[in-house]
Structure 1
Amino acid sequence: MPRPTTTSGLPSGWLTRCYLLRAADGVAGTTVMYAVPLIILTTTGSVALTGLAFLLEWLPRLLTMVGAGPLVDRHRPERVFAYVCALRTLAAVATGIALLLGDGNAASPVVMGFGVLSGMLTEVSFLTMESLGAHASRHAAARAHGVQTVLVGIDQSALLAGPLLGGVLLLAGPTVLLTVLAALSLLAAVGARGLPATLRAAGSLPKRSSTPWAGLATGCRVIAARPALAWLVASMTTCGLISGVLHVSAPITLTTRFEVSTATAGTVWSTATVPSLLAIAAAHKAIDRYGLWATGLAGAASLSVAALTAALAPSALLYGVALAVLLCGEGVLSVVLRTARARLIPPAVFASTLAVTLLAILAPFPLAGAIIAVLPPDQIPRLVLTCVLLQVAVTALGFRGLWHHRSAYADANTFPSPTRSAETPLRDAA
């Protein structure tokens, strides 16, 4: 992973502390995302319930974004982050107690309920961390992709640690897993309480972004006013569809089609994450040399090839290699997306606009869960092939549009100044 980029105008140690908080929160979030469907699969043996658990875990996340964006915009992100992590700690403790005191029949509803609540809280915490990361990127100016590379590297490391941690802890029981999750969330909550305030206080924002629907409308206006951002979101949405299908189907494919254990399934996914860290580090240098557009196109192409390989893989080994390449492409695209996004979205309405972009990009995840829930396991490869064709078509159009509007995000001077007034970006977005 590349060295953290120096940022001027920020308190000493602020960025490093944000990195540590993001790591703790990321590991907790990815562990829950992977463990909840796996708990359902191991306790019930039902593929349909596993897909349903994934759907129930992701659908509320999308609904949460509608209100979370304006909430983060109107209050300091570090404060919102602390409260969210504290709530997740309480939820993990309560779920663990319920599993200890309840009977076996109540396990699935309790775990699904925790997955829903934890997913909602994870999206809010993600918005806060993205707001802080974008703030650091604006201070880093031309080296913004250095900040985003570190952040994406942390996220990918969390994807490595989360499934592995979840698979190992589940061997000791769900209660042990929930205890570790509570500890990670509590650590993040305590760490965020002492984080120096660097973003605007609530009173400096326009009143019209105070309601969830007003924030949603503001985010839509920002995207509509910036064609480059719209093309970027469209391209990433189809990439998210492939990612969602493979995320929810990978445990099923590994355990049913290739007949590996649940612990091995977690190890395969975690091992596949390791090369993505190298790809993220390479993306930092590739953007320096070739620019955002060419680097993003390479990431999208590798994702398509990987998904095609996963659909046709005859062995668990080749399937694992395909997952590794897929995560490499995801990592490169994440660096490109976040760097361009920080340059294109006005800081005063960053969280509200980010919520809309995430709503579009992550919507395929619950859709993937719903499809997998009703689809026979032997039809999953055909589903992946269909998604690949759709992704290639939309991405080709999207990157064509991004090429025509590359001046909007390729120049570091397109960063909105941190000192601009809150009203100006809103007026520009209208």
Structure 2
Amino acid sequence: MIGRLVMPSAVNSEGQQDGAAAARRTARQIGLIRTCDSLAGSVAQTAIPVAIFRITGSALWAGSTFALEWTARLVAISCGGALIDRSNPRTLLIASACARVLVAAATITAFMTGAGPLAIVAAGAAVGAINEVSYLTLEKVGAAVAVSARAQAAQTAIDQGTVLLGPLLAGTALLAGPAWAFTMVAVLSTMAAGAAWPLTHRPMHARSTGTPARALRAGVRAVLKQPVLCWMTAALASMNLLAALLQAATPVLVATWTTSPAAVGIAWSAAAAAAIAAAAAAGRILDRVAPRRLIVAVCAGAALATACAAAAPTYALFTAALALLAAAEGVALVVLRTTRVRLLPPSVFGAAVAVMIFALLLPMPLGGLLTAGTDPKHLPYLLVAAAAVHAAVTGAAAIGLGRLQSRPQSPPAPGADRSQR
């Protein structure tokens, strides 16, 4: 009789242990895929504008390439939400990685045949679209296996870690020639496809939301039901304008201090190192500080960092300002990702995240266009003006979030607040 009473409990315990072990294996597998895929995208994102500037010596070409790349990303996001909600993540991840390999191979061929800067511009647009599809897919998979603040901080740290290694690898490869950088992109993409091949986890099954337009409308409705997400997204979108301007302008600004092709990569790698540390700490900070207060504080820090970058008299101080901006962005991303995983319903998670990412990335091509249309010697004034705009948006978000805190918050959608393990 005692055995019969104990056996069910033992079986349940063993089942829970097996389930937890399987979840850990899946999380590690997804982490490996995310690392390889994000690293490939980071190398390409760093190599393309630097290669363009080295070939043409023109800030107009560098800014236009940046703008076109992020325009392609926005188009991919607008169509990707519905695709991700109704597709197998394994198929999407493998297809994205293989497509990036093909683009890298075509770009290497263009370099070898002397096709000129237009080939790099086209590669930037194609890689940008591919990167967004794979990123959205990984976001949905990651949301299914990790919903706690610390788990989201770990995923953000992976992203920031690839941002750290990507520019270093790209800068090193560019010393030997642009073709080597794209060879590295092809190798990393192949590794990502190989890591995704045994993936069997299909998270958050959802009914088809129909056409991309209908999926976007569903995503917009899901986000608008959570005003906290709206204010956070607005604050981070204005922060991304700062990041976009600095990403597009960094090759031009750094050229005033050094002509080393690795200098841009080193600066952004130092910034990414700060972002990793900040993202790792953000999970613990969220245990003690309200997300609304934390995101307002780091957004204010981003405005200060951009103003410091504009006024930096040396390469070292400019790099330090980039590090402060990246650290603020890392913490803000952890806050936003943790909040949206807890509030958004699984049935439209991909579409809703696509809407949020679309809003977050909308300033990126604008940053490239503004940089392309600004005289290089006036870029510091442009950065100061953008910092002022971001400070104003942050102030409005602080007021809006404060008002929301004074009244009951909208409850999470059914199924959105998944249990944490």
Q: TM-score of the superposition, structure 2-length normalised?
A: 0.90
Q: Percent identity?
A: 33
**Is 329-338 or 304-313 further displaced after alignment?**
304-313
- 1:300 maps to 299
Q: CA shift at 1:76, angstroms?
A: 2.2
Q: d(CA) in 2 for partners of 1:79 and 1:36?
A: 27
- 2:211 maps to 211
Query: Greater CA radius of gyration, 1 or 2?
Result: 2
Q: Is the CA contact 2:77–2:354 (under 8 Å) kept in the aligned structure 1? A: yes
Q: Is 1:137 aligned to residue 149 of structure 2?
A: no
Q: CA shift at 1:418, angstroms?
A: 5.7
Could you list the runs of 5+ residues in structure 1 that have no partner in the other structure?
A: 1-6, 139-143, 420-430
Q: Is the CA contact 1:347–1:418 (under 8 Å) kept in the aligned structure 2? A: no
Deviation by residue 1:11-54 (Cα, 9 ceiling, x = unmatched): 44000111111111111111111110100100111111111111
Q: Is 1:55 aligned to residue 67 of structure 2?
A: yes
Q: d(CA) in 2 for partners of 1:367 and 1:413?
A: 33
Residues 18-33 of structure 1 mapped to structure 2, 5 A cutoff: 18-33=30-45
Q: CA shift at 1:145, angstroms?
A: 0.7
- 1:124 maps to 133
- 1:334 maps to 333
Change (3 A) 1:418 1:78: farther
Q: d(CA) in 1 for partners of 2:52 and 2:417?
A: 48
Q: CA shift at 1:175, angstroms?
A: 1.8
Q: CA shift at 1:259, angstroms?
A: 3.5
Letter in 2 for 1:87: A
Q: Is the CA contact 2:301–2:325 (under 8 Å) kept in the aligned structure 1? A: yes
Q: Is the CA contact 2:229–2:336 (under 8 Å) kept in the aligned structure 1? A: no
Q: CA shift at 1:394, angstroms?
A: 1.0
- 1:179 maps to 183
Aligned with 1:112 (options 114, 118, 121)? 121
Q: CA shift at 1:282, angstroms?
A: 1.7
- 2:382 maps to 383
- 1:79 maps to 91
Letter in 2 for 1:154: I
Q: d(CA) in 2 for partners of 1:228 and 1:191?
A: 36
Change (3 A) 1:16 1:403: farther
Q: d(CA) in 1 for partners of 2:415 and 2:295?
A: 19
- 1:267 maps to 266
Question: SS where residue 366 of structure 2 aligns?
Answer: helix
- 1:349 maps to 348
Letter in 2 for 1:296: I
Q: TM-score of the superposition, structure 1-length normalised?
A: 0.88
Could you list the runs of 5+ residues in structure 2 that have no partner in the other structure?
A: 1-18
Q: Is 1:40 aligned to residue 70 of structure 2?
A: no
Q: d(CA) in 1 for partners of 2:298 and 2:90?
A: 32
Q: Is the CA contact 2:343–2:413 (under 8 Å) kept in the aligned structure 1? A: no
Question: SS where residue 289 of structure 1 aligns?
Answer: coil
User: How many positions carry a matched residue from both structures?
Assistant: 400
Q: Is the CA contact 2:341–2:417 (under 8 Å) kept in the aligned structure 1? A: no
Q: CA shift at 1:285, angstroms?
A: 1.4
Question: SS where residue 66 of structure 1 aligns?
Answer: helix
Change (3 A) 1:137 1:11: closer
- 1:322 maps to 321
Q: CA shift at 1:10, angstroms?
A: 5.4
Q: CA shift at 1:137, angstroms?
A: 2.9
Q: CA shift at 1:343, angstroms?
A: 1.4
- 2:13 maps to none
Q: Is the CA contact 2:98–2:190 (under 8 Å) kept in the aligned structure 1? A: yes
Runs of 4+ in 1 over 4 A off after TM superposition: 7-10, 406-409, 411-415
- 2:282 maps to 283
Q: CA RMSD for the aligned pairs?
A: 2.1
Q: CA shift at 1:402, angstroms?
A: 2.4
Letter in 1 for 2:120: V
Change (3 A) 1:136 1:405: farther
Q: Is 1:158 aligned to residue 162 of structure 2?
A: yes
